[in-house]
Amino acid sequence: MTFPIIFTLAVVAAVIVGIMWFRTPADLALLGGLTTLLIYGTIDSEFGLSVEDGLKGFAKPGVLTVAVLFVVADGLQRTGAFAWLGMRLLGTPTGTRSAQIRTMLPAAFLSAFLNNTTVVILMMPIISDWSRKHRISVSHLFMPLSFAAILGGMCTLIGTSTTLLVNGELKNGLTMFELAWIGLPVTLVGVTFLALGTRRILPERQPAFTSTQDPREYTVEMLVDPASPLVGKSIEEAGLRSLPGVYLMEIDRSGKVLPAVGSQTILQAGDQLVFVGVVGSVVELQKIPGLKPATDQLFKLDEPRSHRCLVEAVVSTSYPFLRQTVRESRFRSTYNAAIIAVNRDGARLPGKIGDIRLEPGDTLLLESTPSFIEQQKNSRHFFLVSEVADSAPVRHEKAWVARAIMAAFIIGASLFSWFGQKNAALLAALPAALMMIFFRCTRAGDARRSIDWNVILVMGAGLGIGQAMTKSGATELILKGLNSIIDLTGGGHSAMLACIFLAAVCLTNMITAKAAAALLLDVAIQAAKAPGISEKPFIIALIIGCAASFATPFGYQTNMMVYGPGGYRSSDYLRLGVPLSILVGIVTVLLVPWVWPVRI
């Protein structure tokens, strides 16, 4: 074993240890490893990594495709293009198993086309309230939700960023739905196992925290727009009966108050719906198509609604209008902000907003622009000013545009693949992202901020380290070791597929899927260097193995997202994730050589 191989493998080992044991962010650990190898390359030009080769990973089509698709996903999220689908499909479960299936199927479907993290973020609050309504433990739903999102991502070329990264290195790239040959069976087996085994394997846990522990409760009036799709529907049909963290208290219809609203009450145009709930629920109310805050002050603000956000501000003792009503103080004109609701001493404050006389300590829920925060954060008029996270009004009027762009993207990527274009996803994603911006589904500034640069850095740096392994001879050494083991055990190409899958599963649960794929990519490609051997089966095994991040909470972001709200322990992921990983591995090793023959 030469010094370049020893040095390169030592750097790779240090990166893995840093991520796994010291919880170093994956992007920093990989960039540190890449920097070390680049510096070594200046000393050993023959076996070391040159700057040009080390940085090529950042310009790979797969990496660029992932960056562009963040913009497309941002347009879909800001228009609420698919937000309605989850609630529509949940329905009424007959028990825990039925609830799990109703949770997993929408998650798996949406994850085939949307970012897994986005899907889980959208569905978690809905499922949390839905489970409370039907008295089902969220600990039996949240982990299946995360796993189903991961499984669904295995079904299409754009399902995960890892797939796009690996596909960019294939001589003959995958088509949009080619992965469905393995993804659909794996998803079916996985969903079946989770539905049958979760309740038996996983003990019921108590969530570490819930959104309803927020003490700030507001009364908010929402207006049913005359053009709203909610007009003519019952409260139950409109999905307003089981909203997370909020309830419908009454309806004001042409001056007549309808208290104790029944689930079969039919909504009419112009109805003012009075909701009571915590601040996070007010954000969700604004995302429902056809509902808008009832205060007419919103339409007098300077900026369009798409440029605004929700802000919480605490009235100080120096507030200049303490003895006047909100209407008398001309609050909107003075601060260019509209009061949506008022909270006093942790309790909701009823009555019309314009008639309320504000007192020191009152918490105001405002709709304004980000400039309000900059202008008032040091003002003596308010003690505290903070933006409510993810509170920008949803552009519902652009939802059909976003859906059309997404459909065009899928069709375009499929056609490019059909005509043999290697980078079909990138060629379709670029115009889709530009159209999202051009048609105002997302703004240029929001589009720039939507790109998760941590993901891009992990992918680019990981590919650079993979190049270093190849140039130093480390990749060849690893392959020789695998071949020796296979020869001793009498295995063939199926054994090599199993080894690549196993290595990918182990690494993805320790250092994230993208880092694992970047490090093992050259190993999978080199495994097919013999004449007459196709690289595609080994690449498919790598893709599925890297996606199968089920055994630890920190291996994949969605696993970490449900960890606290589900009340899970790390051992719970081992209990449910290891058997699921074994099932996915068995299906992969059996089906991949049949769909993509090893010998060509």
Does the residue 334 lie in any domain?
yes
Q: Residue 219: phi, psi to the nearest 5? A: -105, 125
The residue written with tokens 């969700």 in the block is 284
Is the pLDDT assigned to residue 212 strictly greater than 70? no
For the purposes of burial, counting CB atoms within 10 Å of the CB of 600, is it exposed (0-12), middle (13-18) or buried (19 or more)? Answer: exposed
DSSP state of 396: G
Distance CA 60, CA 63 (A): 5
DSSP state of 141: T
Which residues sit opposite 347 in a β-bridge? 344
- 34-46 per-position pLDDT tens digit: 999 999 998 888 7
Nearest to 460 by CA among 170, 28, 56: 56
- pLDDT grade, residue 2 (50/70/90)? confident
Q: Residue 28: phi, psi to the nearest 5? A: -70, -40
What length is written for the chain? 600
- pLDDT grade, residue 105 (50/70/90)? very high
Q: Residue 552: phi, psi to the nearest 5? A: -140, 155
CATH number at residue 237: 3.30.70.1450
Average the pLDDT over 413-424 and give the result.
Answer: 82
Does the residue 62 lie in any domain?
no
Does the residue 508 lie in any domain?
no
Residue 290 tokens, joined? 């056809």
593 neighbors 537 (Cβ within 8 angstroms)? yes
Measured at the alpha carbon of residue 68, what is the angle toward residues 34 and 176, in degrees to the nearest 5? 100
- pLDDT grade, residue 458 (50/70/90)? confident
Question: How many folded domains does the chain comprise?
Answer: 1
Is the pLDDT assigned to residue 491 strictly greater than 70? no
Helix (H) or strand (E) holding 449: helix 444-450
Residue 398 tokens, joined? 């652009």
- Got the DSSP string for 560-594? HHHHTTTT--HHHHHHHHHHHHHHHHHHHHHHHHH
Helix (H) or strand (E) holding 315: strand 309-315
Predicted local distance difference test score (pLDDT) of residue 424: 85
- 318-375 per-position pLDDT tens digit: 999 988 888 898 888 888 888 888 888 766 666 678 888 998 988 888 888 878 888 8
- For residue 444, CA distances in Å to 434, 437, 441, 563 come to 9, 6, 10, 34
Task: Kindly report the number of other CB atoms within 10 A of residue 95's CB atom.
Answer: 10
Select the more confidently predicted residue: 396 or 440.
440
**CA terminus-to-terminus distance, the chain:** 33
Handedness of CA 419, 420, 425, 430 (dihedral sign): negative
Nearest to 99 by CA among 55, 133, 57, 48: 133
The residue written with tokens 């008022």 in the block is 342
534 neighbors 524 (Cβ within 8 angstroms)? no
Does the residue 271 lie in any domain?
yes
The residue written with tokens 């750097």 in the block is 11
Mean pLDDT of the chain: 84
Residue 48 tokens, joined? 């070391």
Q: How large a percentage of the chain has pLDDT more than 90?
A: 26
Distance CA 118, CA 402 (A): 15
Q: Which of 64-68, 239-243, 338-342, 510-514 has the highest mean pLDDT?
A: 64-68
Select the more confidently predicted residue: 91 or 18.
18
- pLDDT grade, residue 155 (50/70/90)? very high
Does the residue 496 lie in any domain?
no
Predicted local distance difference test score (pLDDT) of residue 207: 65
Which amino acid would we find at residue 399?
A
Domain that holds residue 337: 212-387
Nearest to 494 by CA among 454, 455, 540: 540
Q: Taking the model in full, what pTM does it have?
A: 0.71
Does the residue 315 lie in any domain?
yes
Q: Residue 338: phi, psi to the nearest 5? A: -110, 130
414 neighbors 176 (Cβ within 8 angstroms)? yes
- 253-307 per-position pLDDT tens digit: 888 888 778 888 999 998 988 887 777 777 777 778 888 877 665 555 656 666 7
Distance CA 577, CA 583 (A): 10
Distance CA 447, CA 67 (A): 10
Predicted local distance difference test score (pLDDT) of residue 168: 79
- 230-254 per-position pLDDT tens digit: 899 888 888 787 676 677 888 888 8
Is the pLDDT assigned to residue 83 strictly greater than 50? yes
Which residues sit opposite 251 in a β-bridge? 258, 273
